[in-house]
Chain A
Amino acid sequence: MTIEPMRLTVVTETNSAKRLRKRIFSVVAHVLLISASIVMLYPLLWMLSASFRPENEIFNATSLWPSSWSLDAYFRGWNGLRVSFGTFFINSFIISILSVIGNVAACSMAAFAFARLEFRGRRFWFAMMLMTLMLPYQVTLIPQYVLFLNLGWVNTTLPLVVPKFLAADAFFIFLMVQFFRGIPKELDEAAVMDGCSPWRVYWKIMLPLSTPVLATAAIFTFIWTWDDFFGPLIYLSDMRQYTVMLGLRSFTDSTGLSDYGGLFAMSVLSLVPIFLFFLFFQRLLIEGIATTGMKR
């Protein structure tokens, strides 16, 4: 009878010590995480703040909060170059959207072939495709440039868009092959019994079940194409064809007459499409594959 209360006391003390340790750990973890977040977010906040400041205050102010709020930099940035910034946005949109369509369509078709169709040399070509993943962009840049120059495509958007329709992005093909392999083969076979050709299996069965991987490919293609600076820099020389990233570079001037306010304002605007695109497509990412017609 006397032993029971003593045991209870010990247990209670142990529990409260555990709770205290847990709380201290939680506080330390939160402090570290918040500090890391501030480090990560600070450049973005600084840029956002700078885009609303008067030009002379951008590099001198110590506070993130502007002394006065102004939209001048936005108006100046939009119309401050020889070509309106709206043109750059349209160019970037066209290239990015076409790249998304091209990549999703062509890579999914190539991935379907690798994952599901039997053809001579399938393993060899798959290995070759994977090997291209290991080639740095800079290695193929010059041969590619020469090819597009011979085709007369330099100073057009074609070199930036056409390769996307030719399943040139091995990373997405690999990603989709892995995803398609996870879809039960019995579904294809049931479709074959239902009279489907390989094209109809791809179109009616595989694609509708692959929204998460297609959305992933779409999001990353859009972001990478939108943010691409090097490709447009190499192939585009006419300012009317510039993308947003090339437009932003035009704000800085080697003579020292750079419009940093306009640069930061347009930089902020350039983030908006990416943010919206991600917001729209990320819903598809989390839907997940529905294989509930199968008994697993």
Chain B
Amino acid sequence: MATSVVLQKIVKAYGEVQVVHGVDLTIEPGEFTVFVGPSGCGKSTLLRMIAGLEPITGGDLIIDGQRLNDVPAAKRGIAMVFQSYALYPHMSVYQNLAFGLETAKLPKAEIAVRVQRAAEILRIEPLLQRKPKQLSGGQRQRVAIGRAIVREPKIFLFDEPLSNLDAELRVQMRVEIAKLHNDLGNTMIYVTHDQVEAMTMADKIVVLRAGVIEQAGPPLELYNNPRNIFVAGFIGSPKMNFLKANIEGSDATSTRLATSTDVFTLPRPTSGAAGSAATLGVRPEHITITPGSGLKLADVRVDLVENLGGQTLLYTTAADGQTLTIMLEGQLQVELGSTVTAHIDPARLHIFNAEGNAI
């Protein structure tokens, strides 16, 4: 039975310094929610408050309709997987998995059944008698997840669980965690600073900055309709390009924009006032260099070419010095120093006002 989590005006302060500023969030039962944001944005603090490892300074934490602010960590029905695995070094894998159940004074037979079941799910049965030092990074991470599974929690919390693994193992474990979520159906909250992890795993992404939620929603919603420049820049890889522009005028059907090199008309209205400064946002993968393939954005000089096999990345500079990254499908031979014309589908263009909000 999956569980809902509701955060109402959650505040965290260390003395006079407030680090989380009244966060409101609803996580539906069974949802895989990912907290993302740069270092120090408060995502881990928020997770630790949900876990019960950090006291909540203000607001309400409601799990399954009950306010749990003052309930001890072990009694919240939550299990947590730590970034550093935090396996008990002096215990075998079996003992690590069984420790929480022994603390809860479950019968030995029940403990054995649960440990065996978790070991089967994670394919770590042959490792049960080993000590953590005899395990590889991936195996340790599995044991750490197993330690959470055996407790049969209502909610799983993951605090950057893959950040210590190499790239290949990270992808593999990412898939395994996603599968685990599909199989168990529990509510899971996952903290990461890796937006690829967030995009691939989440039902809902919560983008945080400086203790405030910038935007929360399904991954593609954040990708397609970022609420502000920060979210636009954070979601998507390579990062979205931003170009300075001015709104020359706007009517019910179109907006006239001027960059330092070009003036063009966008076939949709915006709420920005005529004469105001704006920022254009365009994702590298939405730019083409084929003539006639969209609205002409700018003529740019190619500074660097990266061939990734499936795609080709062009790092370019416009005449006014603004940089533009272009991601093209396939393997292209583009000469360094040559000039290409960047085109964009107007529907893919994002416009932000001087405050950085989408308009």
Interface residues of A in 165-208 (CB under 8 A from B): 184, 186-187, 189-196, 200, 204-205, 208
Q: Which residues of A contact B53 (CB under 8 A)?
A: 189, 192-193
Q: Which residue of A lies closest to B90 (CB)?
A: A208
Q: Which residues of B contact A191 (CB under 8 A)?
A: 88, 99
Interface residues of B in 59-108 (CB under 8 A from A): 73-75, 78-80, 82-90, 96, 99-100, 103-104
Q: Which residues of A contact B90 (CB under 8 A)?
A: 208-209, 290
B51: which of A187, A193, A204, A293 is its contact (CB, 8 Å)?
A193
Instruction: Give the CA-CA distance A193 to B78 in the complex, in Å.
Output: 8
Instruction: Give the CA-CA distance A294 to B99 in the complex, in Å.
Output: 17
Q: Which residues of A contact B99 (CB under 8 A)?
A: 191, 194, 204
Is B100 a contact partner of A194 (Cβ separation < 8 A)?
Answer: yes
Asked whether A296 is an interface residue with its Cβ less than 8 Å from the other chain, the reply is: yes
Say how far B114's CB is from chain A's closest CB, in angstroms.
Answer: 13
Asked whether A120 is an interface residue with its Cβ less than 8 Å from the other chain, the reply is: no
Asked whether A295 is an interface residue with its Cβ less than 8 Å from the other chain, the reply is: yes
Is A295 a contact partner of B140 (Cβ separation < 8 A)?
Answer: yes
Q: Which residues of B contact A290 (CB under 8 A)?
A: 89-90, 131, 133
- Contact of A193 with B89 at beta-carbon distance under 8 Å, contacts A292-B133, A293-B133, A294-B84 already known: no
Say how far A214's CB is from chain B's closest CB, in angstroms.
Answer: 13
- Contact of A186 with B82 at beta-carbon distance under 8 Å, contacts A193-B74, A208-B90, A290-B89 already known: yes
Is B103 a contact partner of A194 (Cβ separation < 8 A)?
Answer: yes
> Interface size of A by Cβ–Cβ distance < 8 Å?
23
Asked whether B132 is an interface residue with its Cβ less than 8 Å from the other chain, the reply is: yes
Q: Which residue of B lies closest to A211 (CB)?
A: B90
Asked whether B254 is an interface residue with its Cβ less than 8 Å from the other chain, the reply is: no
A293: which of B52, B73, B83, B89 is its contact (CB, 8 Å)?
B89
Is A294 a contact partner of B74 (Cβ separation < 8 A)?
Answer: no
Is A189 a contact partner of B82 (Cβ separation < 8 A)?
Answer: yes
Asked whether B164 is an interface residue with its Cβ less than 8 Å from the other chain, the reply is: yes
- Contact of A193 with B84 at beta-carbon distance under 8 Å, contacts A209-B90, A292-B132, A295-B140 already known: no
Is A192 a contact partner of B73 (Cβ separation < 8 A)?
Answer: yes
Is A294 a contact partner of B131 (Cβ separation < 8 A)?
Answer: no
Chain B interface residue number, banded: 20 to 34
B84: which of A186, A195, A209 is its contact (CB, 8 Å)?
A186
Which among B52, B90, B132 has the highest number of chain A CB atoms within 10 Å? B90
Is A205 a contact partner of B131 (Cβ separation < 8 A)?
Answer: no
Q: Which residues of B contact A293 (CB under 8 A)?
A: 85-89, 96, 132-133, 140
B131: which of A193, A196, A292 is its contact (CB, 8 Å)?
A292
B86: which of A190, A195, A204 is its contact (CB, 8 Å)?
A190
Say how far A62's CB is from chain B's closest CB, in angstroms.
Answer: 56
Interface residues of B in 127-144 (CB under 8 A from A): 131-133, 137, 140
Say how far B323's CB is from chain A's closest CB, in angstroms.
Answer: 36
Is B89 a contact partner of A294 (Cβ separation < 8 A)?
Answer: yes
Instruction: Give the CA-CA distance A206 to B41 in the complex, in Å.
Output: 31
Asked whether A258 is an interface residue with its Cβ less than 8 Å from the other chain, the reply is: no
Which among A187, A193, A291, A296 has the highest number of chain B CB atoms within 10 Å? A193
Say how far B140's CB is from chain A's closest CB, in angstroms.
Answer: 7
Say how far A227's CB is from chain B's closest CB, in angstroms.
Answer: 33
Is A295 a contact partner of B85 (Cβ separation < 8 A)?
Answer: yes
Is A187 a contact partner of B74 (Cβ separation < 8 A)?
Answer: no
Is B104 a contact partner of A195 (Cβ separation < 8 A)?
Answer: yes
Q: Which residues of A contact B147 (CB under 8 A)?
A: 190, 194
Binding site for B on A (CB under 8 A): 184, 186-187, 189-196, 200, 204-205, 208-209, 290-296
With A184-B86, A194-B74, A296-B84 given, can you name 16 additional A-B contacts, CB distance below 8 Å? A184-B84, A190-B82, A190-B87, A192-B53, A192-B74, A193-B74, A193-B80, A194-B103, A195-B103, A209-B90, A292-B133, A293-B96, A293-B132, A293-B133, A294-B87, A295-B164
25 contacting pairs across A/B (C-beta < 8 A): A187-B88, A189-B80, A189-B82, A190-B82, A192-B74, A193-B51, A193-B53, A193-B74, A193-B80, A194-B151, A195-B100, A195-B103, A196-B74, A208-B90, A209-B89, A209-B90, A290-B133, A291-B89, A292-B131, A292-B133, A293-B88, A293-B89, A293-B96, A295-B83, A295-B85
**Which 3 residue pairs spanning A and B have beta carbons closest together?**
A292-B133, A293-B87, A194-B100
